[in-house]
Structure 1
């Protein structure tokens, strides 16, 4: 069997990548506490524009050694637009990971340099062509807590006007307008399963109970 020589450039690249991985490895001279866990070191093993995956060497709460992976997603926003007639706007869209179409509120990621409200306004305009003049923040939801950091900031948007939408090339979005009470029932029937959407719709329902003309 004849082995082809590895090109020098490829060898240099391999050594460079190995050096980069070692640079990304944070070896603690002393264990770093994380609640009842002790972190001995952390290595970044994957990165793309949406997430960073790291693997930690740890001492578990029971005192045994182990590893723990953490995925840090880009911060997200979710928006529920409510019009003057009591209807809300939702999206129906195919989601690659789920392999099916789903219904949810307007959602997306926060870009570098954006605050949460600016990101929410941008996503609302881009995905469904809506501009809102009144905004109410409704807190944050952490949809995954054991092995992921993926906070979603929630907003209720009112005072709506309409412009042309400009969705991303990966998005095939159909805008839906449904009575707000029906959106709540869609959550209860598990027709809406996106966690940020569920929490936002139910929080908004709780908030709006006391408004004149609403039950």
Structure 2
């Protein structure tokens, strides 16, 4: 089976969080093509669960120009380990919560037609509250707890529209009795 072949690749832009590259490719039928790809380190999404309640954060998402309710998410500003260490760090940073247990549910593609970034999804349990340590870009972040019924209503009503949160919740429902 013939595959897409990368003929050349050049970096267009880079900062501490991402890079943008342009790839000239050849399709399986021999026709040329062009892809722009945003490369970002793997991220984590943490579903913090306490009984029948879920911890969410709300923050301003600059590209959308609005605030967004989401599960805890984040990445390192460099290629670092995407797993449990990052999940614990992001949970504490954004909510102040510390988890006794973390269970890996799976890995999702963030936006496969745009970026190489993937996201490891974890469920955090045995939660204890401590101080948060938000970055300056997170200074207006809010942390709130919602029952499952409230979370489901927010999803149905479109209050929660974040793709990672939606995909992570689907994994949670598939892996939780």
Q: Does 1:133 align with 2:109?
A: no
Structure 2 Cα separation of the partners of residues 187 and 143 of structure 1 = 18
Distance 1:161 1:149 in 2: 34
Query: What does residue 165 of structure 2 align with?
Result: 197
Task: Name the residue aligned to 2:129.
Answer: 162
Which of 108, 121, 124 pairs up with 2:91? 124
Question: Which of structure 1's runs of 4+ aligned residues deviate more than 4 A?
Answer: none
Rounded to whole Å, the distance in 2 between the matches of 1:116 and 1:63 is 39
Bigger-Rg structure (1/2) = 1
| Alpha-carbon separation, structure 2, partners of 1:190 and 1:61 | 39
The number of residue pairs the alignment matches comes to 175
Residue 50 of structure 1 is matched in structure 2 by: 17
CA RMSD of aligned residues (A): 1.8
In the alignment, the residues of structure 2 paired with residue 187 and residue 76 of structure 1 have an alpha-carbon distance, to the nearest angstrom, of 22
Query: Which deviates the most, 162-171 or 37-46?
Result: 37-46
Match for 1:87 among 42, 53, 60? 53
Q: TM-score normalized by structure 1?
A: 0.76
Shift in CA distance, 57/165, structure 1 to aligned 2, threshold 3 Å: same
TM-score by length of structure 2 reads: 0.91
Unaligned residue ranges in structure 1 (runs of 5+): 1-32, 211-215
* Aligned counterparts of 1:185 and 1:71: Cα–Cα separation in 2: 33
Tell me how far apart the structure 2 counterparts of residues 60 and 206 of structure 1 sit (CA, whole Å): 36
Deviation, 1:115, is: 4.2
Alignment match, 2:38 = 71
Unaligned residue ranges in structure 2 (runs of 5+): none
Deviates most, 168-177 or 109-118: 109-118
Contact (CA 8 Å) 2:42, 2:82: kept in 1 or not? no
Query: Which SS does the other structure have where 2:93 is aligned?
Result: helix
**Cα distance in 2 between the residues matched to 1:192 and 1:44:** 34
Give deviations 1:9-45, integer Å, cap 9, x for gaps.
Answer: xxxxxxxxxxxxxxxxxxxxxxxx9x62122111111
Q: What is the aligned partner in structure 2 of residue 28 from structure 1? A: none
Secondary structure of the residue aligned to 1:55 is strand
Instruction: Kindly indicate whether structure 1 or structure 2 has the higher relative contact order, using CA contacts under 8 Å at least 6 residues apart.
Output: 2
- Where in structure 2 are the equivalents of 1:203-214 lying within 5 Å? 203-208=171-176, 210=177
